[in-house]
Each structure stands twice: as structure tokens, then as C-alpha cells.
A and B are shown apart, each in its own frame.
Chain A
Amino acid sequence: EDKVVQSPLSLVVHEGDTVTLNCSYEVTNFRSLLWYKQEKKAPTFLFMLTSSGIEKKSGRLSSILDKKELFSILNITATQTGDSAVYLCAVVGANAGKSTFGDGTTLTVKP
């Protein structure tokens, strides 16, 4: 059975700090790993990673995948209060119809 473990479960930082969120996974026939952001409503897509070592970047957010060690990290630099959210990691494996999610990391950015 596919499994996703995120750490830490919660994190409190101050504006301007840099944070690193972790996602480790076990999946049969890996297809992709996805990061979503959830702000008290439906999750919205951030990144999809399929290849090791290739960084995806969008503004202050970036993510990278290590398929050998089975993990991904999401970095947020110069955090802002608007980054406060739950960040969810999900994997798609052999059963393409299923996306398996971790429990999420709740990030709180204080002014």
C-alpha cells in the first residue's frame, strides 16, 4: 500500500525566515509526486515532480525530488504571512487512479 509521511506536522516561523518541508514516500511503480497548498479551503496545486534532481521553482517556492532516497523537499524563502497554510504532499503510483496524501505540514508565519 502506498504511503506518504510528511514532517514536521506543524511549524511556526517569523516573516523572512526560510523553511524546509519534508515528504518521504513508499509507492509501487512511482509516477509522480505533487505538492499542494491548502488555505482553509480546497487544496491548490503547487508542483509536480517526476525526475530526480530537477528543481521546480515558482517565485519564493522551490521543490526537488530524490527518487533514490524516496523523498522530496519544499523550500519557501523569505516567508510571508500569506504563506500560512497546510502543505500537502501526494504520490501517484502503479494505480494511476489513486493519489495518496500525507497528513500535511501546517505552516504558521507570524509577522
Chain B
Amino acid sequence: NAGVTQTPKFQVLKTGQSMTLQCAQDMNHEYMSWYRQDPGMGLRLIHYSVGAGITDQGEVPNGYNVSRSTTEDFPLRLLSAAPSQTSVYFCASRDSGANVLTFGAGSRLTVL
């Protein structure tokens, strides 16, 4: 069981560059979400999806785009990276009938 797979695990970007964080799950979960975690803080919701073709904004969506073309994949795009986006990013998924999230291992992003 792969669970939730995030790539890359580490990434360094320069200000203004764009990139995509990949997230894939093999549990046929309907709900997927992206969180960021800054030092000393909890998880803040960036974007989430309740099914293929359906996405919505969370608490901190600015500077990020998502799409959900399949049940399995939920990529997060940084359009023009800024130092304020330096963070650890977690992708998570869950079945619509359950409330327990399964998390990926995280992606540490540094923007210089």
C-alpha cells in the first residue's frame, strides 16, 4: 500500500520561479487537500477537493493553483514563488465516509 505519495521531498526555488508539487493516492479517496506548515504552527489549508473536477479554496490559497482531473492525483502549482511560500507542504486524503486524514510524507520547499 503506497497510501499518499508526494514528490519532490525537497525543493529549492528562486523568487519568481514556478513549480508543481505532485500528490497521488491509491486508496480511491474522494477527498484530497493541501496544507502548509510553518515553524511552530499547525496545518493551514491551502486548497481542497471533494472529487474529480471539484476544487475549492482553503484559508491561504493566494499564490497557489490546483486541479483534480482524476481521483488519484491532486497537484499543487506555485505560479510565481515568493520567500513567504517557504514551508513544509502536506497532501492528505480521506474517504468521504470517514473523517480521518491520511497524510503524505511532506515536501520541504525553500524559496530564496
A-side interface residues toward B, CB under 8 Å?
4, 6, 9, 31-32, 34, 36, 41-45, 48, 88, 90, 92, 96-104, 106
Contacts and interface: CB of A to CB of B under 8 A. Distances in A.
Contacts of A32: 99
A31 B43 CA distance: 19
A71 to B, nearest CB: 16
A96 B48 contact: no
Nearest to B35: A101
Given A97-B56, A99-B92, A101-B45, 11 more contacts: A4-B42, A31-B99, A41-B105, A42-B105, A42-B106, A43-B101, A45-B100, A88-B42, A90-B101, A96-B50, A97-B48
Tell me the dominant secondary structure on chain B's binding face. strand
| A9, A31, A96, A102: most-surrounded residue (chain B CB, <10 A) | A96
Contacts of A41: 105-106
Tell me the dominant secondary structure on chain A's binding face. strand
A39 to B, nearest CB: 12
Contact of A34 (B42, B45, B58, B99): B99
Contacts of A88: 42-43
Given A34-B100, A97-B56, A103 B45 contact: no
Contacts, number: 62
B41 A104 contact: yes
24 contacts: A34-B100, A34-B101, A41-B106, A42-B105, A42-B106, A43-B103, A44-B103, A88-B42, A88-B43, A90-B43, A90-B101, A96-B50, A97-B31, A97-B48, A97-B56, A98-B58, A99-B99, A99-B101, A100-B45, A101-B43, A101-B45, A103-B41, A104-B41, A106-B40
B71 interface: no
Interface string B14-58: 000000000000000001010100001111110011100000101
